[in-house]
Amino acid sequence: MTEIRIRRVYDDSAPGDGVRVLVDRIWPRGVSRERAAISLWHKEIAPSTALRQWFAHDRARWDGFRQGYFKELDAMPETVAQLRAAATGNTLTLVYSARDTDCNQAVALREYLQRQATAAPPAPPSAPRPHSRPGAGSATAARRRPRR
């Protein structure tokens, strides 16, 4: 699995950051594109404006924010796949601008990506079992069987 790091956009980039993806919908204030050293600005993967405004970085709403954001991410599998593809074989650093380093969209997104990577693949649908003789297993066949 690709290593997923988190770094605040206002902190200096590190040589081992790999692919740096800004996961904010809005460009961070006071940071030039050169200083941010962003490989990709992935606005689409950021939480919706409504969810972000509802959360307002209130730690009491953190669990609700995560659940809402995970639902939004579930609804955009192509966008999540694009993010994964951008980091294939590299370290992925999710870059964000929030002051709170523990409760922000990058933390939630990393959790989501890690859960996806460790989730077991869905089981294939079970195939119908072939019958040994025509009509076996049907209601009519059951009535024809003698009682013991």
CA–CA gap between residue 82 and residue 79 (Å, rounded): 5
Q: How confident is the model at residue 58 (pLDDT cuts 50, 70, 90)?
A: very high
CA–CA gap between residue 130 and residue 136 (Å, rounded): 10
The pLDDT, as a whole number, for residue 87 is: 79
The contacts of residue 43 (CB under 8 Å, 6+ apart) are 24, 25
From residue 135, give the alpha-carbon distance in Å to each of 22, 25, 32, 148: 61, 60, 74, 21
CA–CA gap between residue 95 and residue 111 (Å, rounded): 14
pLDDT at 34 over 70: yes
Structure tokens belonging to residue 70: 């995970």
Per residue in 5-18, pLDDT tens?
999 999 999 999 99
Number of H helices, E strands in the chain: 6, 4
The pLDDT, as a whole number, for residue 104 is: 97
CB of 94 closer than 8 Å to CB of 6: yes
Helix (H, G, I), strand (E, B) or coil at 94: strand
Average pLDDT, the chain: 85
Q: How confident is the model at residue 86 (pLDDT cuts 50, 70, 90)?
A: confident
| Domain locations along the chain | 4-125
**Predicted TM-score of the model (pTM):** 0.78
Q: Give which of 44, 69, 38, 42 is closest to 55, Cα–Cα.
A: 69
Per residue in 91-130, pLDDT tens?
999 999 999 999 999 999 999 999 988 874 554 555 454 5
CA–CA gap between residue 63 and residue 103 (Å, rounded): 9
